[in-house]
Amino acid sequence: MKTQEVEVKKIILDELATEKAIDLVKETYSKKLAEKLSLIKVEAPLFVKKGTGVNDDLNGIESPVEVKIKTLPSQKVEIVHSLAKWKRSKIGRLGLQLQEGIYTDMKAIRTDEDLDDLHSILVDQWDWEQRLSKEDRTLDYLKSTVEKVYAALKETQELILKSYPELIEKLPEDIFYIHSEELLALYPELTPKEREYEITKKYGAVFLIGVGGVLGNGEPHDGRAPDYDDWSTETIDGKKGLNGDILIWSEALQKQVEISSMGIRVSPESLKKQLEISKQEVRLTLDWHKDLIAEKLPYTIGGGIGQSRVAMLLLGKKHIAEVQCSIWTDEILLEDKKTINIL
């Protein structure tokens, strides 16, 4: 009996309390985000037609899951990786005004993921997008949007802590901004993930600007597809990139958690430039890319916010398996269940 009591104390919320808390986190944060960014909720696809250019190519190396449809034998269909480009088209069709936008509960399957405490083949996120003007494609506008995304997170945590005061995670008051080039200069001997670890441990909440473009050491901080976020435009401070990642320090995990990648989307000019840099000009023949070049799509800013990662963070969980039903390795099922509740 004593052994069981010790094991229970390692887990702050049991499985029943966790299920209720996950629902509260998701319901609260989606409402807060929608209020801050003037978003309406929309329905979204699970799969799209292959070859249109609509699907998100992520880092450009991941393979989407193809689906065979009995009544459409000649049509190639694939499950979405995210809705980065689909959302932009949707905003155009809805005719939304400036500073108005959409969000959806997006689910995707990414079979190339390496399973660990933060990664699953099932991706669930709030995919959001907001319309802006060409003049608003600035670093200041990006930062002001990050502030709203982070404010929604802090307000959600305040409510969660009222319901579950035993939780120990506490978000810092402010989010710290740093460019990936500046981060490289601070820690030139470290890997990108090691640099993220050091800066997030120091500040607690960080927005890392400029992800995808080549840095001074000849390498990008991380991969980013060339046709949604703008990572090649040079801002007034002489650095490149109108995108970035939100990193939060987790006390439970004792490391940084990337809860969101987001950014101002490519213009016709930056799309051409980034496709040239990445040697993927062939994408200019795809329907979505043709529409963007022809200026048929609105200017937007957008991103994805991991639902399970936000739940992990706010509920002090040590593994994504505690907040998400998915497929796990035998090692996770047999070893980690000693200290976590696998859903």
Q: What is the extent of the structural domain holding 224?
A: 2-338
- pTM comes to 0.91
* Percent share of the chain, pLDDT over 70: 93
Higher local confidence (pLDDT), 108 or 32: 32
Asked if the structure places residue 292 within a domain, the reply is yes
* Long-range contacts, 12-18 (Cβ 8 Å, 24+): 12/164, 12/166, 12/167, 12/168, 12/315, 12/316, 13/164, 13/166, 13/167, 13/315, 13/316, 14/341, 15/341, 15/343, 17/164, 18/315, 18/317, 18/322, 18/323, 18/341, 18/343
How confident is the prediction for the chain on average, in pLDDT? 91
Q: Is the pLDDT of residue 41 over 70?
A: yes
| pLDDT of res. 1 | 37
The enclosing domain of 77 has a CATH number of 3.30.930.10
Which residues are marked as active site? Answer: 56, 110, 125, 245, 258, 261
Q: What is the mean pLDDT of residues 33-46?
A: 96
- With beta carbons less than 8 A apart as the criterion, state whether 81 and 108 touch: yes
In a domain, 343, yes or no: no
Q: pLDDT: is 239 or 339 the higher one?
A: 239
Max intra-chain CA distance, the chain = 70
Strand duo 243-250 + 205-209: pairing:
antiparallel
Work out the number of other CB atoms within 10 angstroms of the CB of residue 209.
28
User: How many structural domains compose the chain?
Assistant: 1
Torsion of CA 240, 245, 251, 252, to 10 degrees: -140
pLDDT for residue 114: 85
Over residues 201-218, the mean pLDDT reads 97
The residue among 165 and 1 whose pLDDT is bigger is 165
Q: What is the pLDDT of residues 98-157, one digit of tens each?
A: 999 999 999 988 888 888 899 999 999 999 999 999 999 999 999 999 999 999 999 999
